[in-house]
């Protein structure tokens, strides 16, 4: 009964959030839910639970990785928000409820083994995350919400069309359950399957924020609070990636790996080049990090497209990316709260006023751009390695050049914000212990993974990569 519990615990928490409580009380409710959820996920690591609902809900290694990422993010979020809501007067009822609903829906995404259910749950996460962006209800944040809603809705609608095409391709299988599709792979109609793969990729790619449908990302990440962005960049976009991984499972069984891989690589190159160009002129820390997020999505897709060792790299990068996002966007969010802005002109000399936050800002920059000794370095190297071993030399050069450009672009503004003459913050000059604990949690995790990959984790990633056929 663990699988339904994973869904219903956050769901109940979301309903409880509607009770007339104080902001702080809701924070502790959130922490309690996150702890229970984490405990449930931890028990899944000992043994994968049995399938539920006629095989529609199954937790496999892929889902387990995703679920662990979700639960870690929410745990650190629970710690962080205790600090954040010390300085926030606005009622957080809807905010908390939406976050918990999103966690519930994301749990469904992680374990849905039915392509229709997968669509429904991904769509639900999109819709419920939209109100989170405009928490402060400024006109700019509303515009960002609108952009996010529209682009993602169109994307998700295309994914629905793709799911229906898949249903046509599976005309002789009579179901969209993943195991049946994989076992009945020879029965699938290849033409319809190809069409379906294209639509599913474009649809879920919109949700991931791959170029050229990335335009909602800088807006939404720039306007939403750091907490929301961590959920979006670390969990929601990677949920969409999980959907792409499921598609890849089907392609692997039907011999469409080449076809799918070429689409993935093409889109990955675009998603690497576009942020590399746009980040150079950016002045806003959050928006710059948003471009870095597009880049990371490109890397994930690239790893999947290359296959072989690249898949392992991509799966490892999923975890690292989530951890890096915790450091980057929690720090950016805490700076934005302290200074009332995230623009470099307004934010200066963070190191002098808030030494810890300043250090985390630099750590976040290094982790986000994939520097040693953080684990992002290793996973990026794995993906690069896969490109070279599969003789994609030009591709490897492009990847390195883009990563270097993003490094320069982000480094320029981060160093300017961290050092130099201090500008006056809006809040009092005090570090917040809860916020820093949450960020430290992410940094420590990323550092540990950078120097030591635990055996159980490696085994699960290997098993997950084997599912995709690597």
Partner 1 sequence: MTAWIDASCILIVFFALAMLATHRLIGVIQLFAAQAFVLGFVPFFLHAHDLSGRDITLALGTLVLKAGLVPYILFWAIRRVSMRSEIKPIIGVGASLIFGALLIAGAFWVSLSLKLPGKPLSDLILPCSLATVLLGFMIMVTRTLAVAQVLGYLMMENGIFLFGLSLFDAMPVIMEMGILLDIFVAVFIMAIVVNHINEAFERSPGSNRGKMGESG
Interacting residues with partner 1 (CB under 8 A): 114, 116-117, 119-120, 123-124, 127-128, 130-131, 134, 137-139, 142-143, 145-147, 149-150, 153-154, 157, 160-161, 164, 167-168, 170-176, 189, 191-192, 195
Which residues, 6 or more positions from 196, have their beta carbon under 8 angstroms from its beta carbon?
Answer: 162, 163, 165, 166, 168, 169
Report the residue number, 158 or 251, with the smaller CB distance to partner 1: 158
Q: How far is the CB of 201 from partner 1 (least distance, A)?
A: 17
Q: How far is the CB of 146 from partner 1 (least distance, A)?
A: 5
What are the phi and psi torsion angles at 284 (to 5°)? -100, 130
Q: Is the dihedral of CA 172, 176, 177, 181 positive or negative?
A: positive
Alpha helices in 307-354 (DSSP H): 309-339, 350-353
The string of DSSP codes covering 135-185 is TT--HHHHHHHHHHHHHHHHHHHHHHHHHHHHHHHTTTT---BHHHHHHTG
Q: Which is nearer to partner 1, 196 or 432 (CB)?
A: 196
CB neighbours of residue 22 within 10 Å: 11
CB closer to partner 1 out of 116 and 469? 116
Which CB sits closer to partner 1, 59 or 117? 117
What whole-number distance in Å separates Cα of residue 22 and Cα of residue 16?
12
For residues 117 and 51, what is the distance between their CA atoms, to the nearest angstrom? 15
The residue (of 140 and 389) whose beta carbon lies closer to partner 1 is 140
Query: Considering beta carbons, is residue 153 or 341 the nearer one to partner 1?
Result: 153
Q: How far is the CB of 324 from partner 1 (least distance, A)?
A: 30
Taking the least distance from each CB to partner 1, the nearer of 157 and 359 is 157
Smallest separation (angstroms) from partner 1 to the CB of 33: 22
* Cβ at position 134, least distance to partner 1 in Å: 7
257: part of which helix (H) or strand (E)? helix 257-278
Helix (H, G, I), strand (E, B) or coil at 52: strand
């Amino acid at each position: 009964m663990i699988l339904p519990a994973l869904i219903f615990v956050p769901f109940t928490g979301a309903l409880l959030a509607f009770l007339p409580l104080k902001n702080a009380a809701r924070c502790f409710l959130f922490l309690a839910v996150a702890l229970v959820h984490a405990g449930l996920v931890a028990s899944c690591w000992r043994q994968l639970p049995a399938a539920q609902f006629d095989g529609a809900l199954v937790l496999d290694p892929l889902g387990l990785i995703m679920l662990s990422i979700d639960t870690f993010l929410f745990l650190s979020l629970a710690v962080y928000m205790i600090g954040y809501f010390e300085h926030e007067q606005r009622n957080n009822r809807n905010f908390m409820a939406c976050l918990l609903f999103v966690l519930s829906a994301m749990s469904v995404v992680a374990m849905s083994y039915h392509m229709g259910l997968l669509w429904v749950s991904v769509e639900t996460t999109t819709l419920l995350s939209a109100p989170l962006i405009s928490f402060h209800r400024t006109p700019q944040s509303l515009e960002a919400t609108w952009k996010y809603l529209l682009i993602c809705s169109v994307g998700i609608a295309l994914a629905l069309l793709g799911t229906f095409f898949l249903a046509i391709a599976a005309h002789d299988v009579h179901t969209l359950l993943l195991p049946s599709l994989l076992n009945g792979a020879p029965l699938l109609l290849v033409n319809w399957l190809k069409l379906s793969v294209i639509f599913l990729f474009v649809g879920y790619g919109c949700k991931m924020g791959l170029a050229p449908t990335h335009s909602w990302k800088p807006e939404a990440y720039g306007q939403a609070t750091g907490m929301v962005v961590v959920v979006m960049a670390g969990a929601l976009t990677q949920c969409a990636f999980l959907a792409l991984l499921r598609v890849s499972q089907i392609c692997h069984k039907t011999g469409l790996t080449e076809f799918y891989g070429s689409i993935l690589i093409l889109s990955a190159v675009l998603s690497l080049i576009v942020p590399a160009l746009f980040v150079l002129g950016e002045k806003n820390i959050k928006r710059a990090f948003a471009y870095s997020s597009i880049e990371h999505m490109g890397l994930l897709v690239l790893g999947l497209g290359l296959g072989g060792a690249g898949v392992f790299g991509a799966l490892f990068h999923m975890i690292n990316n989530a951890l890096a996002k915790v450091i980057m966007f929690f720090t950016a969010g805490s700076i934005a709260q302290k200074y009332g802005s995230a623009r470099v002109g307004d934010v200066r000399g963070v190191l002098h006023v808030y030494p810890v936050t300043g250090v985390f800002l630099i750590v976040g920059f290094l982790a986000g751009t994939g520097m040693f000794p953080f684990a992002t370095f290793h996973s990026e190297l794995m993906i690069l390695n896969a490109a070279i071993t599969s003789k994609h030399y030009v591709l490897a050069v492009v990847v390195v050049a883009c990563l270097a450009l993003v490094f320069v672009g982000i480094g320029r503004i981060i160093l300017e914000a961290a050092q130099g003459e201090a500008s006056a913050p809006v809040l009092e000059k005090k570090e917040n212990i809860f916020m820093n604990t949450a960020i430290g949690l992410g940094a420590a995790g990323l550092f540990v993974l950078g120097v030591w990959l635990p055996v159980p984790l490696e085994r699960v990633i290997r098993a997950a990569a084997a599912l995709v056929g690597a």
